[in-house]
Amino acid sequence: MRNLLSRTRLGTEGVLLGIILALSIVLALTTDSFLSLQNLFDLLNNQSVNIIFAVGLVVVLIAGGIDISFAVAASVVQYVVMTLLIETLGGGSWALGIILSMLVGTLLGLFNALLIHRFRIVSIIVTIGTFNLFFGLLMYFTGGVSIYDIPDWLYYSIPLLDLPAERGSATLYFPAAVMAVMVMLTWFILARTGFGRAVYGFGSSPEAARRSGVSVWKIHAFAYGWLGLCAGVAGLMQAHIVQEVVPNALIGQELPILAAVVLGGATLGGGRGSVLGAVLGVLLLAVVQNGLNLLGVTPYAFRMIVGLIILIAITTSNLGNLLPRSTRAKNV
Amino acid sequence: MNKPLNTPSSAGVRLGGDTIEVMAMTALLIFSIVFFSLLAPGFLSATNFSSMSMQLPELGLLSLAMLVPIISGGLNLSVTFTANIAGLTTAWLVQGLLAGMGILSVPMAIMAGLVVGAAAGFLIGVIVAYVGAHPILVSLGAMIFLQGVGEFLTRGGGISGMPEVFQTIGSGNFLGVPIPMLIFLGAAAGLMYVMHFTRTGFSIYMLGSNPRATEYSGINVKRVLITVYTISGLLAGLAGMVMLARFNSVRVGHGESYLLITVLACFLAGANPFGGFGRVLPLVLGLMSLQVIASGMNLMGASQHLATAVWGAFLIIVMALRMPFIKQS
């Protein structure tokens, strides 16, 4: 079995894709609504925010860091951008909204990068610090009050693709397109540019990368800045989907998204992971939840099952460590 | 397991090793007390001190539960939900299965809750030790799983209405000190003993500073790892008991916001993110300072959220100052 796996070189993405396909086939056979266009579109609509977060986070993980603060950063972006747009810019538009969100998000990410690079603090500590700092300040300045009165352009959902389906119609909305753009951009940078390769190199061996002339501050600035940018975009999309801005709505999302990205093959040591893997990691958990929902399992059991899947995945992907040393050596 | 590992002299040296951290944390504590007693009216009142010592133990016990894995070079993200599950077990046993057993039911239910906490930690330890996956991941998976178990069992609701005994534990005093505070100080003293005066404690420090050397020196690394997470789970379970007693109810997700603050407190008190360093005493002192800052700001009319922001800023500043001296492995 192990030999077969290593010979075919499926990689984490292949295995994930296989599991998702197998799950989908089972769900298509056992439920009548899983394979409907409506359900698949809904799945994409609902997961677009998480996927945007995930492709940002995978960059940081590949660069050998970790970030806990991105969901809070997204909430800060929502609030700052919305307040700016409503109070000083007279409503604004989509273009302005996205640009501002990217800008504020990137700034927050660069703040993390600055602390990590300039003061050489470990990324997990910095981001736990900024998590508390951002969250505390956000709640202090907003007083925990939500913004319901968001501009019209953000309030009304934009259908991209409207296809007739069994019940009414199946619609794919604007956030799905934004997600696709962010996924493609991140993939392009990581997989098709020299700089992207340098990010991988830096993640697997910072010292070797530094000695071969990779500029460390650029890597740090890009990784955390890009996650900040993604978080900004994701924050705007989340506000668009739920049609309001709630200061603590995204808090608590960071750890499950981290788990999904790791499920997609990124490691905490850096140097490994891919955009496709991150997307598949989020989708796997989404398909599982969607399937449980369609099968009529109580929603209270979802998290338990998702947690169990994560534990099993961690255990099986490291199965090699359970084998005796001699067998392990052969496969290295 | 050679004899020199555990000689009293080396334990003494190791205790002496935290002088700097203890001094820094004492200075911070004294500074914050002086600062707020000058600025915040009513800070030095007995009411304020008793409310501070009521709030500290939950966060304190959870931070102790976080400290041990950090010393070993890991992290346990499941402490808050381990506490929840332990609390749920106890509440459920008191109201359900053991309801007819009279006064004996309470200690039995508390024991069961602690056992469940320790068992959750034990399982994390087994996976970390035998699978070799990163503790952050394993405990993250366990966290999501335990939260799910709690949600499934309670259906999102809570269990409330504990017998009188819990109220006595939660809000009672013994010689003028709140009982939760005594529990916390007792746990801290116990942990201090284990970490500084036993072979297990020494192995945990050793594992944290150099896993490979530890393995080569004949220490059973797997067993040490399992012990680390079992201790962590047990302490988290104790935190669950205190939370149950103080609020007279248990709800999944209660105390969830403490998670990152426990990590913050450990790093603030000099625990090394790469493992091997971190002491109980500075952590206790550091936690007291955090509590003083929160209470003082509260008395000055600022919100709890501003205190959270100050804690975050504090962590960043302290780490920026400390980082040049930290050993990176």
Instruction: Provide the mean pLDDT of chain B.
Output: 85
Which ipTM score applies to this complex? 0.85
d(CA A123, CA A65): 6
B308 and A135: CB-CB below 8 Å? yes
Band of residue B98 on the pLDDT scale cut at 50, 70, 90: low
The whole-number average pLDDT for the span A74-88 is 92
d(CA A327, CA A325): 6
Task: Decide if B98 contacts B108 (C-beta within 8 A).
Answer: yes
The whole-number average pLDDT for the span A296-321 is 83
B137 and A131: CB-CB below 8 Å? no
Q: Residues of chain A with pLDDT > 90: what percent?
A: 49
Task: Decide if A20 contacts A287 (C-beta within 8 A).
Answer: yes
B256-313 per-position pLDDT tens digit: 888 888 998 998 888 888 888 888 888 999 999 999 988 888 888 878 888 889 989 9
Q: What is the pLDDT of residue B100?
A: 66
Chain B residues close to A133, C-beta within 8 Å: 309, 312-313, 316
Q: What is the pLDDT of residue B153?
A: 87
A136 and B307: CB-CB below 8 Å? yes
Band of residue A91 on the pLDDT scale cut at 50, 70, 90: confident
Q: Is B115 on the interface with A (CB under 8 A)?
A: no
SS3 A37: helix
Cα distances (Å, whole numbers) of residue A300 to A253, A304, B98, B202 = 17, 8, 26, 42
Residues 5-24 of B with CB under 8 A from A: none
d(CA B191, CA B118): 15
Q: What is the pLDDT of residue B53?
A: 83
Q: What is the pLDDT of residue A1?
A: 45
A314 and B149: CB-CB below 8 Å? no
pLDDT above 60: residue A61: yes
Band of residue B61 on the pLDDT scale cut at 50, 70, 90: very high
The residue type at B293: I
Chain B residues close to A65, C-beta within 8 Å: none
Residues 26-65 of B with CB under 8 A from A: none
The whole-number average pLDDT for the span B18-29 is 80
Q: Residues of chain A with pLDDT > 70: what percent?
A: 92
Q: What is the pLDDT of residue A4?
A: 45
Band of residue B50 on the pLDDT scale cut at 50, 70, 90: confident
A129 and B319: CB-CB below 8 Å? yes
d(CA B166, CA B154): 20
Is the whole-model pTM more than 0.90?
Answer: no
d(CA B265, CA A47): 34
B305 and A139: CB-CB below 8 Å? yes
Q: Is B182 on the interface with A (CB under 8 A)?
A: no
The whole-number average pLDDT for the span B217-242 is 93
pLDDT above 90: residue A234: yes
Interface test with chain A among B319, B323, B326, by most A beta carbons within 10 Å: B319
Cα distances (Å, whole numbers) of residue B98 to A83, B105, B110 = 55, 5, 11
Interface test with chain A among B123, B139, B152, B259, by most A beta carbons within 10 Å: B152
B266, closest residue in chain A (CA to CA) = A125
pLDDT above 80: residue A9: no
| A117: its two tokens | 């690079």
pLDDT above 90: residue B64: yes
- H/E stretch holding A23 reads helix A11-30
Strand B249-251 vs strand A159-164: parallel, antiparallel, or unpaired?
A: unpaired
Interface test with chain B among A61, A66, A70, A128, by most B beta carbons within 10 Å: A128
A115 and B155: CB-CB below 8 Å? no
Band of residue A8 on the pLDDT scale cut at 50, 70, 90: very low
Residues 249-268 of B with CB under 8 A from A: 256, 260-261, 263-264, 267
Q: What is the pLDDT of residue B225?
A: 93
B138, closest residue in chain A (CA to CA) = A311
More confident residue, A187 or B153: A187
Band of residue A7 on the pLDDT scale cut at 50, 70, 90: very low
B154-194 per-position pLDDT tens digit: 887 788 777 777 777 777 777 878 888 999 999 999 999 99
Rg (CA), chain A: 21
Band of residue A129 on the pLDDT scale cut at 50, 70, 90: very high
Chain B residues close to A128, C-beta within 8 Å: 260, 263-264, 267, 312, 315
d(CA B18, CA B271): 11
User: Three-state SS across chain B?
Assistant: CCHHHHCHHHHHHHHHCCHHHHHHHHHHHHHHHHHHHHHCCCCCCHHHHHHHHHHHHHHHHHHHHHHHHHHCCCCCCCHHHHHHHHHHHHHHHHHCCCHHHHHHHHHHHHHHHHHHHHHHHHHHHHHHHHHCCCHHHHHHHHHHHHHHHHHHHHCCCEEECCCHHHHHHHHCEECCEEHHHHHHHHHHHHHHHHHHHCHHHHHHHHHHHCHHHHHHCCCCHHHHHHHHHHHHHHHHHHHHHHHHHHHCEEECCCCCCHHHHHHHHHHHCCCCCCCCCCCHHHHHHHHHHHHHHHHHHHHCCCCHHHHHHHHHHHHHHHHHHHHHHCCCC
Of A39, A57, A4, A123, which is closest to residue A264 (Cα–Cα)?
Answer: A57
Chain A residues close to B260, C-beta within 8 Å: 68, 128, 131-132
A310 and B145: CB-CB below 8 Å? yes
Interface A-B, measured as beta-carbon pairs within 8 A, has a size of 164
**Cα-Cα-Cα-Cα dihedral of B194, B200, B206, B209, to 10°?**
-60
Q: What is the pLDDT of residue A316?
A: 79
Closest-CA distance of chain A to residue B129, Å: 10
A136 and B324: CB-CB below 8 Å? no
d(CA A150, CA A303): 32
| Non-local CB neighbours of B200 within 8 Å, separated by 6+ positions | B194, B224, B227
Task: Decide if B113 contacts B213 (C-beta within 8 A).
Answer: no
A68, closest residue in chain B (CA to CA) = B260
